[in-house]
Chains A and B, each alone.
Chain A
Amino acid sequence: MTQMTFSMPARVTAQDVPALRERYKGLIQEGVRELSLDFSQVESIDSMAIGLLVATHNSLLKCGGVLSVVNTPGNVYQLLTLMRLDKHFTIAQA
C-alpha cells in the first residue's frame, strides 16, 4: 500500500479545510492508502477540521485504506479520544 505522512499546521480550522480536503482527495486519487497525519505542530483544531478527519477516514476506508494521526499533543489527543475518534482510527500521542 502506498504510504504518506502529511504534516499539519499549528491551527487546523475551517479556513484550512477546503485546501486540505482537495489535497487529501488528490493523494487518495494518486493511490495513497495509508495516510498518516503528523500533528506535532497542531495546537488547536476546530469542528470543521474534525469533520475533515472523519471524512478522510471514510474516504480511505471506502478504498481499503487507513488513516492515522501521529505525534498528537496532549490537549488535542485528549479532545480526539474524548470524542472517541480513536475507536475508528489510530491516534498516537506525541
Chain B
Amino acid sequence: MLEAHELTQGFVEDCREHLEHIESALMDLEAAGAAADHELVNSVFRAAHSIKGGAGMLGLDNIKTLSHKLENVLHLLRTGELTPGRETISVLLKGFDRLTDLVEHVHESETLSIDEQVQGLVRIAMAGGAGGDAPPEPERIPLEQGGIFTVDAVSLEQARAGGNYIYLLEYDLIHDIHGKNAMPFDVLKQLTDTGRIIDCKLDFQAVGGLDDFGNSIPFHVLFASILEHKYVCGLVKLPPERVRDIADAKDAVRFAPTDTFREEFGCVVLDAQQGRGSLVVPAELTLRSLHNLKAGMLAALARCQELSLDLRPVVRCDLLFFQLLCSAHASFRAQGKRMTIAHALPQERLAGARALGFGCGGVGGCPFGA
C-alpha cells in the first residue's frame, strides 16, 4: 500500500507534467483570440481538472480551490462565453503561476494565500458568464423542509452545459440509507459512477445535538446526470417526489426575493425575519469560519435591511476578524442599512480589539462599543 508521502510525491510529479506547457498554451490562446484552437483550450482545461481531482483526493484544499476556479474560467473559454483576451489570459497566468507555487511547496500549500488569484478568476468568470461585472451571485434552491441550497452559479452552469439533467436528491440518511442497510460511501460512489455530484448539504440544524439526535438526518445532493428522471429514481432508490428535476427550470431555481429565509454558510447560519437578519458568530474564528461569516454577512447586506450579530460565543479570534467586523459595519452604513450588536464580544476579546485600536469613537452601532 502506498504511503501518504508517496501519493503526494506522485501527485506533484503529475502536476508538473500538466503545468509544463500551460504558459505557452495560454500565450498561444491570447495570440489567436476568438479564433483560438478548441483543442488547445481543452488541453489546458483538462490540466486544471486533473489537478483539482488529485488535490481533492489528497485533501489539498487550496490547490483544489484554485484549480477549480481556473477550470471555471477555462470552461467559459471552451463554450465561447469568454474570449481569450489580454486581461483573461493575464488572470489565468497569475492563477497558474500561483498553482505552480502551491504544487512546488505542497506541504505548505494550505498556509499560502490564494485570495488574490481566486478573486481575479471569480471576477473574470462572472463577467464572462453574466455578461457584466456583477458580483458572483450564487443560485439558491429552496428546499421542501425550509432553508435554501446555495450553489456556485458557475459550477451549476457547467453541469447544465454538459447536456445533463440536474436533480436535487432529498435523502434522509436514517431512513433512506441506514434503513436500507446501505452505507453512505457506497451510495455516493454509485452517484459519482453514474453522474456528477455538484454539491451536497447536510441539514445540521435538523439533526440537533447529542440530547435530541436520532430521528432524521436530511441530506441533499445536487446531482447532474444524463439519465432521465425515472431511471434516476430507480438508481437512487428514492420516491419520485424526492428526486426533483430542476434541469429545465433554470428560472425556478433562481432566488426569488423574500425577506424571511434561513441560509447556511458552513457553520454560520443567517436567519432573516421580515428583512431583519441575525447571525451567531462561531466560537473559533479560523480562516474557514471567517470565510463563512463573511459570506453570511454579504448575503445579509444584499438581502436584509438590518443585521444583528451575537458575538458572545467568540473564544478565539484575531485581527482579521476585527477587520471583518469593521468592514461589515462600514458596508452596512454605506448602503443606508444597519448592523447592530445584539450581544457584545466577551470582555477579554473586546479589550484585545480596543488595544489594537479598533472602535469607531462613538459612531452608532460600532461593533466594539466605543
- Which residues, 8 to 67 on A, are CB-close (under 8 Å) to B? 14, 21, 24-25, 28, 33, 44-48, 50-52, 54-59, 61-62, 64-66
Instruction: Tell me the minimal C-beta distance from A83 to chain B in angstroms.
Output: 5
Contacts of A2 in B (CB 8 A): none
Q: Are B292 and A87 in contact (CB under 8 A)?
A: yes
Q: Are A87 and B183 in contact (CB under 8 A)?
A: no
Q: Are B59 and A54 in contact (CB under 8 A)?
A: no
Task: Select A51's contact among B57, B61, B217, B286, beta carbons within 8 Å.
Answer: B217
A78 at the binding interface (Cβ < 8 Å) = yes
A79 at the binding interface (Cβ < 8 Å) = yes
SS of B interface (majority): mixed
Contacts of B202 in A (CB 8 A): 50, 54, 83-85
Q: Are B183 and A44 in contact (CB under 8 A)?
A: yes
Contacts of B201 in A (CB 8 A): 84
Q: Are A64 and B313 in contact (CB under 8 A)?
A: yes
Contacts of B56 in A (CB 8 A): 81
Q: Are B267 and A88 in contact (CB under 8 A)?
A: yes
- Most chain B beta-carbon contacts within 10 A, residue among A14, A21, A24, A58: A58
Q: How many interface residues does chain A have, given as a range?
A: 35 or more
Inter-chain contact total with CB atoms closer than 8 Å: 111
Count of chain B residues near A, Cβ 8 A: 40
C-alpha spacing A51/B210, complex, angstroms: 10
Q: A64-B315, A83-B202, A84-B199 are in contact. Are A46 and B184 (CB under 8 A)?
A: yes
C-alpha spacing A94/B2, complex, angstroms: 13
Instruction: Tell me the minimal C-beta distance from A34 to chain B in angstroms.
Output: 9
Instruction: Tell me the minimal C-beta distance from B155 to chain A in angstroms.
Output: 13
Q: A55-B207, A55-B208 are in contact. Are A50 and B200 (CB under 8 A)?
A: no
Contacts of A65 in B (CB 8 A): 283
Instruction: Tell me the minimal C-beta distance from A44 to chain B in angstroms.
Output: 6
Q: Are B174 and A48 in contact (CB under 8 A)?
A: yes
Contacts of B315 in A (CB 8 A): 1, 33, 64
Which residue of B is nearest A55, CB measured? Answer: B213
C-alpha spacing A54/B209, complex, angstroms: 8
Q: A46-B178, A77-B59, A83-B219 are in contact. Are A54 and B213 (CB under 8 A)?
A: yes
- 13 new A-B contacts at CB < 8 Å, known A24-B210, A83-B219, A90-B286: A1-B315, A44-B183, A50-B173, A58-B207, A59-B211, A61-B282, A79-B188, A81-B56, A82-B188, A83-B188, A84-B202, A93-B4, A94-B4
Q: Which residues of B contact A (CB under 8 A)?
A: 4, 56-59, 61, 173-174, 177-178, 183-185, 188, 197, 199-202, 204-205, 207-211, 213-214, 217, 219, 266-267, 282-284, 286, 288, 292, 313, 315
| 18 A-B pairs with C-beta separation under 8 A | A21-B213, A25-B211, A33-B315, A47-B173, A47-B184, A50-B217, A55-B209, A55-B210, A58-B207, A64-B283, A66-B284, A78-B185, A87-B267, A87-B288, A88-B266, A88-B267, A90-B288, A92-B59
